[in-house]
Amino acid sequence: MKNENVYLKEINWPEFGLASPIIYPEAEEIENRICKCREMMEQRNLTHLVVYGDREHFANLMYLAHFDPRFEEALLIIGREGGPLMLVGNECVGHLTVSPLYNAGKLRYERYQPFSLISQPRDESRGLTEILREEGINNDSRVGCIGWKYYSDIEFADYKKAIEIPSFIVDNLRSICGYDNVLNASDILMSPAYGLKSVLSAFEIAHFEFVNVMASEGLKNLFENFRVGITDFELIAEHHYTGYPLGCHTGIKSSGNQHIGLSSPVGAIIKKGEPCSTGIAYWGSNICRAGWVAENESDLPEYAREYVQNFAAPYFYACAQWYENMKIGTKGKVFRELIDKLLPFDDFGVYLNPGHLIHFDEWVSSPIYKDSEDEIRSGMYLQVDIIPRSKKYFSSRMEDGIVIADEKLKNELKEQYPDTYNRCMARRAFMIEELGINLPEEILPLSNIPAIVPPFFLNSKKILSLKP
């Protein structure tokens, strides 16, 4: 599996600058999203959408209201016209001011105490059926439910009626509308082919660049201060966690938890000659790298001493080819076939989709799967998430976020967020000139460590690159 197109080169990691916080959208940005939802409701003959969220499954509420329920659950009810209604529990009433839509007087709310924690006051709420009926839901209505997942005929014969949000909500809706008129509509937001969250606006690009920069600067700092003899708790602190909410658990695998997938730190000692992976994911980003705690291959176990030429280099080359094919109009199956060819499963074990859509939720969906006819579209925000596994060589990783943008979207970004645009252009130049990747014009790299892969974590200035 040797690859002669990749070599190790020593560089000082580039500095692209920090991004100013871009967090709160204008109310108009959110209203445009709701308008697009209503257009899709009309196409499907839906009279209402009910959008459920909780602490784990908050992303669709964030998209449609810029509101995330904390401690509790929440439900957003959208009709064909008028301001949406948000049902919240006791503690989230005070959190509503996080929503620009609410602050602009365009989001109504009602305290619905069954969403509150157990033993809190429960005596001030109307019943859910009464609330739903007042929102115009009746026996002539057709309601779409949005949670965090939709299904296909692979899972269920009548998959459009398989709904993952709490049964008491679905039961109330079906008692009013009838069983057949309450449907799963999560694909309106999450489908890779047409979902509203599968393409970004200029604001969203700028926001997600900010969180990618924050995460990648943390990982860069960790590499600058990587050392042995400390615990994984101490090492993970080098990510310089800022307090911004996380999209998934912060992970690190080292000497004490190699056998546990998706593990957080456990207090193990970082040891030379052992594999390691770590990453940090703020909402809308996930920056991760995997390699060995070593200065060079002589520090590796004897069985793994061809790690670079037999594993990391072929992986880097495959990722570079993935990038070079990432063009508007390319079908998703091309990338699945490419990775299967360049990284044979028996040697690299790439099981999950080689790349997926990311948003506030770390995984939205993916246009990249076997026989996929879904096309890469302008505005797609993709996670370069190609995960190889080997009992012999452990892993390697180039996990960053990129946006696909046509000239119109790039010009909008350049006009509205010139600093974001300029950093993206600088990252493109680095990937092309320093790493030798023939990057298509439509790719905007958001990470401040774009495609930088150090196989040896104690000598991180040596990174993989394509040969000139």
Every domain of the chain and the residues it spans? 6-22+197-220+298-466, 45-184
Distance in angstroms (rounded) separating the CA atoms of residues 50 and 177 = 13
DSSP 95: G
Distance in angstroms (rounded) separating the CA atoms of residues 90 and 86 = 13
Contact criterion met (CB below 8 Å) for 90 and 111: yes
Contact criterion met (CB below 8 Å) for 289 and 277: yes
Q: What is the mean pLDDT of each run of 10 residues along the chain (468 residues)?
A: 88 98 98 98 98 97 98 98 97 98 98 98 96 98 98 97 98 98 98 98 98 98 98 97 96 92 95 98 98 98 97 98 98 98 98 98 98 98 98 98 98 98 98 98 98 98 97
Distances in whole angstroms, Cα of residue 37 to Cα of each of 32, 63, 73, 100, 385:
9, 11, 22, 18, 29
Contact criterion met (CB below 8 Å) for 387 and 394: no
Q: How many CB atoms lie within 10 A of CB 190?
A: 26
- What is the three-class DSSP state of 414? helix
Q: How many CB atoms lie within 10 A of CB 20?
A: 12
Give the pLDDT confidence score for residue 3 in this predicted structure: 81
Please tell me the class of the 45-184 domain. alpha beta
CA 458 to chain centroid, in Å, comes to 29
Give the pLDDT confidence score for residue 457 in this predicted structure: 98
User: What are the residues whose beta carbons fall under 8 Å from the beta carbon of 55, sequence distance 6 or more?
Assistant: 68, 69, 70, 71, 72
Distance in angstroms (rounded) separating the CA atoms of residues 14 and 11 = 8
DSSP 14: P
Give the pLDDT confidence score for residue 4 in this predicted structure: 87
